[in-house]
Amino acid sequence: MRETANKLKILYNAVYYSLHRTAQTGCNQNRQRGGRPRCTTEQEDKYISSSTGTSPPKTITLDDVMSSARDLSNLTLAHEIIVNRDFHVEQPHLPQNSLEKQVKDIVHKVFWDSLESEYEHVTLKGQITSITQENNPIRSLVEGRVQQYCRVLLATPNSHVNPPPTPGGLALIQPGLTSLAVTFVSLVNFNKQVYSPFYMMILKTLLFSNAAPPPAATTPQDPTIQNPVNSN
């Protein structure tokens, strides 16, 4: 918006400067003809000098003018969208037998027939590429079903011999998924066997740290030595 305002200001200054130069030229011509010249007032000169500055104004090209016009049109449209609550865009409805309708249908048919396969290819490529994103719904669904399958495999006895059925939608990756899940279960069982004694000691320390210690075991004595006989 600031850039658009600057362009409009430059355009306004250029037009005003051109008008001022035209007025001065006419003033000089009238002076040469002997008539009463029409010159600018002191107030107008101060305004022009403060607007244009000491240096001549920047040259405005047609592209700059068209760009400023487009920006101004966009600002008008944005203002209308914000102010008017009933603003909405409607697709134009052309008459059935009109020339515009026939041309539109022909162009749409020609371009769609030639670009439909390419459009489908681009759409499929975009869907495959978006799977790498963390919040992709397809990725989240597949990841949840894989985790569910691994949990079922852990809870099933002899799952490496008779693995449970694959969840729906994962039939294409069933061989690789089954092999990966069996390897995962074997690793979990191996960790249980190796680290279970350490886990048991930690659990005992946490659970029975405030409990009273068990009574000390006493060694049974021989009844023959309960009443020793003095040799004296």
Chain centre to alpha carbon of residue 153: 36
Q: Where are the alpha helices (DSSP H) in the chain?
A: 2-33, 42-52, 62-83, 99-130, 137-155, 174-207
pLDDT for the residue 30: 47
The mean pLDDT values, 10 residues at a time, for the chain of 232 residues are 60 58 51 51 57 59 77 76 74 79 80 72 78 82 86 80 79 84 86 86 81 55 52 48
Residues 9, 71 within the same domain: yes
Q: Single out the residue in 18, 52, 83 at which a domain terminates.
A: 83
**Host domain of residue 78:** 2-83
Residues 6, 78 within the same domain: yes
pLDDT for the residue 87: 72
Q: Checking phi first, is residue 88 left (phi over 0); if not, alpha (psi -120 to 50) or beta?
A: beta
| Within-domain flag for 69 | yes
**DSSP code of 215?**
P
| Within-domain flag for 148 | yes
pLDDT for the residue 222: 53
CA pair distance 167, 161, nearest whole angstrom = 18
Residues 77, 143 within the same domain: no
pLDDT for the residue 90: 73
Which tokens belong to 23? 């007025």
pLDDT for the residue 232: 47
| Within-domain flag for 25 | yes
Structural domains of the chain, count: 2
pLDDT for the residue 64: 76
| Within-domain flag for 229 | no
| Within-domain flag for 127 | no
| pTM: predicted TM-score of the whole model, two decimal places | 0.35
Residues 7, 78 within the same domain: yes
